[in-house]
Amino acid sequence: MSDGPLIVQSDKTLLLDIDHILSDECRRAIAAFAELEKSPEHIHTYRLTPLGLWNARAAGHDAEQVIDVLLKYSRFAVPHSLLVDIAETMSRYGRLRLEAHPVHGLILVSNDPAVLKEVTRGKKVAPMLGLQLDAETIVVHPGQRGFLKQALLKLGWPAEDFAGYVDGEHHEIALRQDGWQIRKYQELAAEGFWHGGSGVVVLPCGAGKTIVGAAAMAHAKATTLILVTNTVAARQWREELLRRTDLNEDDIGEYSGSKKEIRPVTIATYQVMTTKKQGLYAHLDLFDAIDWGLIIYDEVHLLPAPIFRFTADIQSRRRLGLTATLVREDGMEGEVFSLIGPKRFDVPWKEIEAQGYIAPADCVEVRVTLTDAERLNYATAEQEDRYKFCATTQTKKAVAIALAKQHADDQVLVIGQYLEQLDELSAALGVPIIKGATPIKEREILFAKFRTGEIKCLVVSKVANFSIDLPEASIAIQVSGTFGSRQEEAQRLGRILRPKADGRGARFYSLVARDTIDQDFAQNRQRFLAEQGYAYRIIDADEVLNKN
């Protein structure tokens, strides 16, 4: 027995005592392979999952390193059965390999014939396979590379893909060297992806994921398709590529609702790619329009399900996923792993903050109390209406207005889920609102005015959750969200993490109705940020209102 901060349990849970002097050090060490499940005040609960261990394996961590971390920080003896399970789980990654064959094209290989025999008996796997060449090798039908990887992952035998990639059509791309320098972690992220062939890079919002994409393009020197969340993000990518690379305006095309340009570097929105006409995906041909050498998926944690289906067909193209969090609320992390690729690089948010590349953030949960009338209405509301009711309580309106006034000299974003609530706040504060119905041109004008400080406060709906670059935003006031979405919490905090010119920190207020489902959802939303080392301090709404 030692005095470590971690209690390792045989049910694969890890309990971290966050008041321990080594808790931060331990949290950083286990973040590479464990997922945070609960984060109350004193003890955080992590869980070991096969996918987490396989991602760690793909990122270069072996079972010995994982076990060493658990033994180093554990307060009590680590159950031997758990150590054996970790070693066996991680050894499953790579026991099956996809390789190119000069005669048969694509083959599935294993140096463990029993494993190969086991998976070939799978009902979904068998139809994808052809002739068995020997006890360790079996032919894979053309076009089944992605679908086979999905099926094998579900069977618990993730295949390592060594089948190679087409180079795509050559297009010279280099990073500019004038006036800026790529950061070391960005360079390492691009190299980690390139050497792995395909996969996901995880970096905090504001840490320059677009630069990692540009560096990957410089490695590939080939035609590139970039998939992004919306048209505003597409135009920000275009501006950043023109600023950071030697690409010129004619090299870059936009493929969105308003434009259909196909160029050596084409930036398309997920929305246009998933648009259907007469039951068919009308723009699917874009994947085959050019001999792409690289496909980049921005905000890969938001990838729509149809894009996964398209991606299964293009496994011979190098694929780079960029995200701040691999958490998917739909549970499709396995699809990202098998079709885009495993995690190739990540770095804790606090580490990037310590290097001065993202702003330090103070996270504050402001608890509001429903009035007696509101509590009665909440208690009698239908289950499906309860969250909206407590998330949009009028009590929050007064607190949001008070906070915005207290930060009148800062660049403030008021963020929410429900449009009626946001419209009310926009009118009460006398500031513009950006929502789904706001035309792209108007959004761009308002964002530009916000960046220059001409507008000090903006009310924004979930359209501003991701891929919006607002460097000087330093205050976010979240009044409502998408239920318990951890990824949304991370994205919203990310809106204010760009480093400020004057070195100021950021503050993220989350307004929560106490003793309601809003409070339950808030705890879930905060889990990912707690994993990154951000602690929410809780204050009462009266502390805000009494300041005015």
Q: Where are the domains of the chain?
A: 6-92, 96-162, 184-347, 353-545
Mean pLDDT of the chain: 88
Given a cut of 90, is residue 69 above it in pLDDT? yes
pLDDT value at position 333? 83
pLDDT-derived band at 432 (thresholds 50, 70, 90) equals very high
pLDDT value at position 459? 92
Minimum mean pLDDT range among 5-9, 159-163, 273-277: 273-277
In degrees and rounded to multiples of 5, residue 450 shows phi and psi of -65, -40
**Contact predicate 191/200, CB 8 Å:** no
| Percent above pLDDT 90 for the chain | 49
Specify the pairing of strand 34-38 against strand 43-48.
antiparallel
pLDDT value at position 496? 80
pLDDT value at position 469? 67
Q: What is the mean pLDDT of residues 30-57?
A: 86
How would CATH label the architecture of 184-347?
Answer: 3-Layer(aba) Sandwich (3.40)
Tell which residue, 517, 535, 518, has the closest CA to residue 527.
535
Q: What is the mean pLDDT of residues 448-468?
A: 81
Given a cut of 70, is residue 483 above it in pLDDT? no
Q: What is the mean pLDDT of residues 155-162?
A: 93
Q: Specify the DSSP element, H or E, that contains 375.
A: helix 372-380
CA distance 280 to 273: 11
CA geometry: angle at 534 spanning 533 and 536, to 5°?
Answer: 140
pLDDT-derived band at 466 (thresholds 50, 70, 90) equals low
CA count, 13 A, side-chain hemisphere, 176? 13
DSSP 8-class letter at 222: B
CA distance 335 to 204: 22
Given a cut of 60, is residue 1 above it in pLDDT? no
Specify the pairing of strand 412-415 against strand 475-478.
parallel
**Contact predicate 275/252, CB 8 Å:** no
| Rg from Cα positions in the chain | 24
Q: What is the mean pLDDT of residues 190-215?
A: 91
CA geometry: angle at 464 spanning 460 and 466, to 5°?
Answer: 160
**Contact predicate 527/39, CB 8 Å:** yes
Matching CATH number, 96-162, of 1.10.720, 3.30.780, 3.30.2000, 1.20.120: 3.30.780
Given a cut of 60, is residue 467 above it in pLDDT? no
CA distance 367 to 298: 34
CATH fold match for the domains 96-162 and 184-347: no
Q: Specify which residues 477 forms β-bridges with.
A: 414, 509
Q: What is the mean pLDDT of residues 212-225?
A: 96
pLDDT-derived band at 245 (thresholds 50, 70, 90) equals very high
pLDDT value at position 465? 62
pLDDT value at position 248? 95
Tell which residue, 481, 532, 548, has the closest CA to residue 363.
532
DSSP 8-class letter at 252: E
Q: In the chain, count H helices and then E strands.
A: 23, 25
DSSP 8-class letter at 486: H
**Contact predicate 178/153, CB 8 Å:** no
pTM: 0.84
Please give the CATH number for the structural domain made up of 353-545.
Answer: 3.40.50.300
Q: In angstroms, how far is CA 200 from the centroid of its own chain?
A: 9
For 18, 336, 448, the CA distances from 25, given in Å and listed in that order, are 10, 29, 40
pLDDT value at position 518? 86
CA distance 205 to 200: 15
pLDDT value at position 391? 86
pLDDT value at position 481? 81
